[in-house]
Structure 1
Amino acid sequence: MIWKKLADFVLKQRILILAVIGLASIFMGYKASQVRITFNGGKVLPVTDSAYIRYMQFKSTFGQDASTMVIGFESPSIFNKDVFNDWNQIGTRIQHIKGITGVISVANLYNLEKDTLNHRFTLKPLVKHPLISQAEVDSIKKQILNLPFYKGLLLSENGNATLMAITFDGKIINTPKRVPILNQILKEGKQFEQKHNIQVHYSGLPLIRTVAGDLMKNEFTLFLSLSLLITACILLIIFRSLFPVIFPVLVVLLGVTWSLGILVLMHYEITILTGIIPPLVVIIGVPNSVFILNKYYYEYSHTGNKMQSLNIVIERVGITTFIANVTTAIGFGVLCFTNSELLTQFGLVASLSIMVTFALSLILIPIIFSYLPSPKPRQSGIKDRKIIQFVLLKLDYLVHHHRKAIYITTFILVIVCTYGLSLINVNGYVVDDLPKTSNTLSDLQFFENNFKGVLPLEVSIDTKRKNGVMNQVFIHKVEKLENLISSYPEFSRSLSLIQALKFSTQAFYGGNSRYYRLPDGLEQGFILSYAGNSGKNTNVLHNYIDSNKQFTRASFEMIDVGSSRMNVVLANLQPRIDSIFNPKKYHVELTGSSIIFIKGANYMVKNLYESLAWAIFLIAGVMWVLFRGIKMIAVSLLPNLIPLVITAGIMGFFGIPLKPSTILIFSIAMGISSDQTIYFITRYRQELKSTNKTISRIVSDTIRETGISMIYIAIVLFFGFGIFAASTFGSTKALGILLSVTLLVAMFSNLTLLPAFLLSIEHREEKKKKKAD
């Protein structure tokens, strides 16, 4: 038998095995030291998705869309001489920071002027030096208000709030180089704030992603430390000895090292999901040691022989823990079926790490304890603890004498929670993961209230022919489209070819704001001629059309209203867009980082339903291989499906939305909770084959022996996942709390409902036999 051979090999070749694992762990430790935190939002949509392909084409044509940071303030003193001059100087200093390609604010503004002599337009700064008098500032203010191109973009509609838009070089935006630049901008803002006693607000995706990255870095260390501390304390309470605490902790630390090494070897970075793998390895890895040591002490209490007991542990526990870890790995591994890079990385690394940690536990724990002194009576007597025995006796009594009560209670819970499930709202926000008390969220709200948000929405329009953009009919269609989109309260006014043409027309007529309009047929030729002579840096049309004049863009900002509301808006918007641009002649694509996030959230929710179905299917397959028969598969799956329904009900009643982070819970919980079922049924079937006891007696023995490990493991998992409740990320917090609840319910389900099912099967079989006789 393979497990018998493995047990003999492990205990006979201890030195060789320790040397091989030691060298491999040194290599993985070296790789783990090279792990890096991601500086982008992570790829949610598959690279083959049409929306993602269009987004990448857009970036290739027009450049990075999520590269702008904004800083702003609200004050009646915007055009006070000292405030205005300092705001100008901040913009000038930021403009000279390496890695910044553009800065624009009310104090760092450019006007488009007509150069009649050279038949071109020139961009000239309104403020060329610090202004000496208040009269000069008032003059600049008058000029700004005479430029509709900037209306609502840099100065709020009521004139009390202003912002500065800072554009990063696309080559450094997703690298660590952006961090010192951001810090310098924040320093400049703080100095302005202190000098004038005006609160400065900061936002934009470069900042939001950096704040999230810093939180990830802090929580990575925090949760790894907390998981080790919690599990060590629980091990100490369970075993009341140092050796069963120290060595399991060292083994899972090796598992953590290997998990980070795997991450680096696969060329992945730490994201909000892969960042929780190390504490997950600790939380899921420690129960292996609990099960192995509990079995070791149980066997030693019967045999009194250390090496024989360890041999039995590997032989008998090996298959059980292997299958249990396979089902756990399935819960994570099915995420690879989503084709989402973010989830695939998490699922693949997590499942591999779980199996590696299992192998390390099964091999190293017996080897280490073979060199340690024999267990003391208080350790081998772990099964005789009064509290645990009291709980198990009560559970055994409940199962044998109150099965109907168990079924009725379960049925009522399922009905109530099914109603709760119907209340679940599917929703996600771009800044979902940031803590509600974060300044980043309050700052974002400032920009949403005054400037309709800072999250980019891009509209790409393909005319499907060269020079199609400059057709006058097409231009008027684009204007109509922009007016349509801006009419929605979720979107700002646009920056586009239309606004650039209107700005050019105004400049052509000497800056008169009455001429801020689209040029007519004759004017358009002159204006385009002037724009063509202006050079790449001065031609304001350049940013909004491609080189072939086939594509144009319109840029908006949007409020983070959530994927649920935005799905409604987009569904309402699409037919109205189609009524302006015939889909047969044009292709209009709503894109940009914000839209990709929303489509990614929709994609993940849809595909995570499929991954849960895959998890159930694959775990059912494992149960079939182990136990055979439809009845046993149903008996194995139901105690683990019911906790999922109860958790979904809790989410509905407490208003916890279904989003990518929370739907992860179900496939993961299904994989982990199935372990307990496997522990129970494997022990039950072993007894069924090897003794002549009644099924009733075997169920009682299984509850009393396996129940000890199941309760201890549930405690480890409950408190282990419970540490994530301390997370500043909403998604991680929800993941921890809901997983803890689900796995605790699953433990009770597997110690009540599962044995009740087995006894009911026995009762039916006896009835059939009596009828046959």
Structure 2
Amino acid sequence: MNRLIDFAVARHRLVLFFISLLTLPFLWFYGNQSFRNHINAFFEKDDPDIVYYQAFQEVFGSEEMMAVVFKDADIFTPESLTIIRRITDVIERHEGVQRVLSLSNAEVAVGLDDTVDFHPVLPDGEITQAVAEAARSMALSHGVLKGQVVSSDGTTTCILVELLPFESNEAKGLAIQSIQAKAEAVAGGVHELRYSGGPCVEVEINALTRRDNMLFTPITFLIIMVIIYRMLRNSALSFLGQVNIVVIVLWGIGFLVMCGEPINTVTVVIAPVLLAISIADSIHILSHYRSLYTRKGLGHRTAVAEAARTLWVPCLFTSLTTGIGYLSFVTTTVRPVKIVGIFTAVGVMIAFFMSVLFLPALLMLFQKAIVKKNTADNGRHTGKDPVVDVLVRLGRWVVGHSGVVALFFLVVMAVMGYGMTQLRFDTDFAAYLKDGNPVKEDLRFVERHIRGTVPVEMVIEAVNPEKDFSHPDSLKVLDQVADEIMAHMTGHYTNVFSAADYFSEIHEAFTHGEGGKGALPESRLDLQDYYELADAEVLERTISPDLQSARISFASVFGANSNARKVQAFAKDRVAQILGGDYRFRFTGLSSLYNTMDNNLKISQVRSFGTAFVLIFVMMFFVCKNPILTALSMVPNLFPICTTLGIMGWFGIPLDTSTIMIASVTIGIAVDDTIHFITWFRRNCEAGLCTREALVKTFSDTGKPIVMTSVVLCTAYFVLMTGSVKPIIAFGALAGLAMFFALVGDLLILPALINLVKPALCKAEVEGVPEGEVSNIS
């Protein structure tokens, strides 16, 4: 590496030309980012739950359902029903719409002598008051429509729209916007329309992700620029540091896009995080260069080469440990988290090579401006650096009160340890939206006035043809399962629909209600007749073509995934008893996938952190070259993790697709400053200082860059709090706090523990030389 650094310094123009040339394709890809937040994006393509979900959709149809809803004192008036008809007609003709169900085109079974006919709720022609009253009577007397497309009090109606699959999220978003615009035009302001359903939530989150992506990077960049300028007090060095990180981010995100990866609510953090992480190496190199030039009097060329040669080893280890922290995410089964891990790790290594090769080349190219600025700065600032002076005084206090610091550490860890026991996992996508968000408000409106908006799908499969769904007994099994689950999930599930409900309606019409409400046919021949009479579209969505499988569709309100776990636990016990050995069941759909994601997150937390901890521990041994010092170095890096997770437990902040990354990210980044601290501490010990003196001098040597990088990291993560999606906001706040606690660990806990344990590193102590007073180092 030293030869490469010397080459970059000597042939800096060639290096800059080569890197600039390579940056051009990455710049093109950076400008062609795509966005996708569909549930499929959170699973690997061969994940068994996704494979089953896709097979389910091929058999029973798409779950891409949105609803157009409005409320009035009475929707069964000629005016309201006319608007419903016109909106339905407009949407049915819209490109990308597969089918529409509303009061305008719904049909109900009506018995006619010895047969059954299906009559429209709203017949063609003029809608008079008499027609409206007849529609009211027909709609509210049929359980299939009541609670599905009209509320039981007749004040709210729902136009259900099934969308065709779209090739891109952008295309889906445009289609939904167009549908909404046309519906609004028809309503003409007479009714306030509401929109709900999974596609609406997905498109909204996608739009917010795009907005956040455009916001995070420039804000983070500007904040870093201000902080670096204030710390280095040199505009030329600050500018070159910014140029370096811009190229790093272009390469990192460009490579992500080149590999065909979209941006979503998880991967949107890559760019700002990469900005913050990549500046760390630049800060250490620029700070050391400036110290060599202004304080030790080395020439510009020598100072540039010496700074890079001195720091490339610790910078390599910090990059590797950070990369390992992120790369540990490859063990997760939540795909976006895995993508964040892989591409951030790649970006971190890009940052290392850019910082030790590209940055020195930049310093050489702008030699005149830098030397002139350094000379002017050196003339204005000939006294002590106030930041270094404060840090040296802090170092003296820490080594003088090591026992107090250690006690403080133990107390905090005990309190936060209890908080960690209260942690929970949750991936409620509706909760991703802030309160007051229009889409979230619409969801809550629909759930309050008519029906749940989250589909929960259950498939009952007959084990053998003798029990398929051409038998009345099989329909009764469907009906019993649906009733028991609805009773168990009261308050969470609003309605249910299956083939049993549909054939019950036909049977009631055929027998003129003789069997009672909800009765099912007893004769297989009658059921076969009903199959012939039934609407083919309804059958396609409820019964498989071979009659071996049947679908039960529940409508759930948006809420915590504990609801999905509750119903699955109930089904495992009670439903299994009902089905016996003749049938088997499986949940699928969005609710089931969210629950699966929860389980994946739990496994991911253990796998990723365990992997990161072991690999970083091994890496730290090569840095420390002392088993005791290695063990001590890990303690202050566990401190920010335990503290942050403890805060999450105390305040009820869940682990989700974003906050799940906190532990592995924290240990991967926090250990960077630990490496720099220990590297300088070992050098000072080898120079003949005792433990106390070596620690205090370490505060002087590397304390300021550590503070600078920590401030940058804290601020960069806090920028994520300006986001539009709650998990990203929580991730930004918690990661920022974790970086602050990591600084506390490196500047308080680590030196205190080293001073108390005194690992055999310092020559003066190993050779038995009495420990002197702490030197007056500044």
Same fold (TM over 0.5): yes
CA contact (8 A) 1:227 1:723 kept: yes
CA offset at residue 739 of structure 1? Answer: 0.9
- The answer to whether 1:682 aligns with 2:679 is yes
**Partner secondary structure for residue 79 of structure 1:** coil
Contact 1:40/1:174 (CA < 8 Å) preserved in 2?
no
Aligned to 2:57: 59
Residues 230-276 of structure 1 deviation map (CA, whole Å, 9 limit, x = unaligned): 11111121123322222222221212211222112222111111122
For structure 2, the 5+ residue unaligned runs are 770-778
User: 2:497 maps to which residue?
Assistant: 495
2:430 aligned with 1:431: yes
Offset at residue 424 of structure 1 (A): 3.0
Q: How does 1:342-741 map to 2 (within 5 A)?
A: 342-372=336-366, 373=368, 374=371, 376-377=374-375, 379=377, 386-466=385-465, 468-487=468-487, 488-489=489-490, 490-509=492-511, 517-521=519-523, 524-529=524-529, 531-532=531-532, 538=536, 540-582=538-580, 584-689=581-686, 691-741=687-737
Tell me the secondary structure at the aligned position of residue 599 of structure 1: helix
Deviation at 1:768, TM superposition (A): 9.3
1:234 counterpart = 2:227 = yes
Mapped to 1, the partners of 2:90 and 2:414 lie a distance apart of 64
**How far apart in 1 are the matches of 2:391 and 2:238?**
24
Measured against aligned partners, the alpha-carbon deviations of 1:540-561 in whole angstroms (never above 9, x if no partner) come to 3232122221111111111122
Correspondence for 2:308 = 314
> For 1:552-582, what per-residue CA distance to the aligned partner results, in whole angstroms no more than 9, with x for missing partners?
1111111122023432343233201111112
**1:99 has 2:96 as partner:** yes
Deviations 1:607-653 (A, max 9, x none): 22221111111110111222233312211110110111111222222
**Secondary structure class of the residue paired with 2:605:** helix
Cα-to-partner distance string for 1:706-728 (whole Å, 9 max, x where unaligned) = 00100111111111111111112
Q: CA RMSD in A?
A: 2.6
Note closer, same or farther for the CA distance 1:763–1:342 as it changes in structure 2 (3 Å cut).
closer
- More displaced stretch, 93-102 vs 333-342: 333-342
Could you tell me how far apart the structure 1 residues matched to 2:216 and 2:70 are?
36
Aligned to 2:236: 243
Shift of 1:509: 4.7
Give the TM-score normalised by the residue count of structure 2.
0.92
How far apart, CA to CA, are the structure 2 residues paired with 1:430 and 1:663?
Answer: 15
Q: 2:286 aligns with which of 268, 293, 311?
A: 293
Is the deviation greater in 702-711 or in 507-516?
507-516
Deviation (angstroms), 1:290: 1.1
User: What secondary structure, in the 3-state scheme, does the structure 1 residue paired with 2:307 have?
Assistant: helix
Please list the CA deviations of residues 199-238 of structure 1 after superposition, one character each: whole Å capped at 9, or x if unmatched.
3221101110000000011110111111011111111211
Give the counterpart of 2:753 among 757, 760, 765.
757
Q: 1:222 corresponds to which letter in structure 2?
A: L
Q: CA deviation at 1:143?
A: 1.8
* SS of structure 2 residue aligned to 1:195: coil
Paired with 1:704 and 1:122, the residues of 2 have a C-alpha distance of: 90
Is the contact made by 1:44 and 1:604 (CA closer than 8 Å) also made in structure 2?
A: no
Residue identity opposite 1:447 in structure 2:
V
CA distance in 2, matches of 1:355, 1:113: 71
49 and 41 in structure 1: CA distance in 2 versus 1, 3 angstrom threshold? closer
Matches within 5 A, 1:37-116: 37-47=35-45, 49-65=47-63, 67-112=64-109
Q: How far, CA to CA, are the matches of 1:80 and 1:471 in structure 2?
A: 42
In structure 2, the residue corresponding to 1:149 is in which secondary structure? coil
Q: Which amino acid aligns with 1:717?
A: L
Give, in whole Å, the separation in 2 of the partners of 1:275 and 1:383: 44
Q: Secondary structure of the residue that 2:758 maps to in structure 1?
A: helix
2-structure distance, mates of 1:125, 1:355: 66
Aligned sequence identity (%): 21
Give the distance between the partners of 1:282 and 1:227, measured in 2 at CA. Answer: 7
Residue 69 of structure 1 contacts residue 202 of structure 1 at CA under 8 Å; is this kept in 2?
yes
1:320 deviation in Å?
1.0
8 A Cα contact 1:70 1:165, kept in partner: yes
- SS of 2:432's equivalent in the other structure is coil
Letter in 1 for 2:26: M
CA 767–251 in structure 1, closer or farther in 2 if over 3 Å, else same: closer
Q: Secondary structure at the match of 1:493?
A: strand
CA distance in 1, matches of 2:513, 2:172: 38
Worse-superposed segment, 502-511 or 407-416: 502-511
Q: 1:259 maps to which residue?
A: 252
Change (3 A) 1:32 1:293: same
Q: Number of residues paired by the alignment? A: 759
User: How far 1:386 sits from its partner (Å)?
Assistant: 4.3
1:462 counterpart SS class: strand
Q: Distance in 1 between matches of 2:395 and 2:528?
A: 87
Higher mean C-alpha displacement, 490-499 vs 379-388:
379-388
2:213 maps to 1:220: yes
**Distance in structure 1 (CA, Å) of the matches to 2:40 and 2:683:** 47
Question: Structure 1 260/125 Cα, relative in aligned 2: closer, same or farther at 3 Å?
Answer: farther
Higher alpha-carbon deviation: 214-223 or 630-639: 630-639
Specify the alignment match of 2:776 in structure 1: none
- Measure, in 1, the Cα distance between the counterparts of 2:512 and 2:182: 36
Give the distance between the partners of 1:204 and 1:106, measured in 2 at CA: 19
CA contact (8 A) 2:462 2:583 kept: yes
Matched, 1:272 2:244: no
Distance 1:651 1:436 in 2: 20
Deviation of 1:407 (Å): 0.7
Instruction: Give a deviation string over 1:643-697, Cα, whole Å, max 9, x none.
Output: 11111222222222233322211110111100000011112223333x2222322
Superposition map of 1:123-202 within 5 A: 125-129=120-124, 131-169=126-164, 171-172=165-166, 175-191=169-185, 195-196=189-190, 198-202=191-195
8 Å contact from structure 2 (residues 472, 527) kept in 1: no
Using the alignment, how far apart are the partners of 2:486 and 2:662 within structure 1?
38
Alpha-carbon distance, 1:471 to partner: 2.5
**Shift in alpha-carbon separation, 1:59–1:378, aligned structure 2, 3 A:** farther
- C-alpha distance 418-596 of structure 1, shift in aligned 2 (>3 A): same
When residues 33 and 404 of structure 1 are mapped into structure 2, their CA distance, relative to the original with a 3 A threshold, is same
Q: Per the alignment, do residues 632 and 306 of structure 1 end up closer, same or farther by CA in structure 2, a change over 3 Å counting?
A: same
TM-score of the aligned structures, taking structure 1 as reference length: 0.93
CA distance in 2, matches of 1:482, 1:660: 32
What is the rounded CA distance, in whole Å, between the counterparts of 1:157 and 1:672 in structure 2?
56
Find the aligned partners of 2:469 and 2:336 in 1 and give their Cα distance.
Answer: 37
Contact 1:42/1:271 (<8 A) preserved: no
SS at match of 2:469: helix
Q: Secondary structure at the match of 2:166?
A: coil
1:470 aligned counterpart, secondary structure: coil
Q: What SS class does the counterpart of residue 432 from structure 1 fall into?
A: helix
Using the TM superposition, give the Cα deviation of residue 47 of structure 1 relative to its aligned residue in structure 2, in angstroms.
Answer: 4.9
The answer to whether 1:34 aligns with 2:29 is no
| 1:16-45 per-position Cα deviation (integer Å, ceiling 9, x unaligned) | 222221121111122223321115234434
CA distance in structure 2 between the partners assigned to 1:748 and 1:76 by the alignment:
61
CA distance in 1, matches of 2:211, 2:546: 48
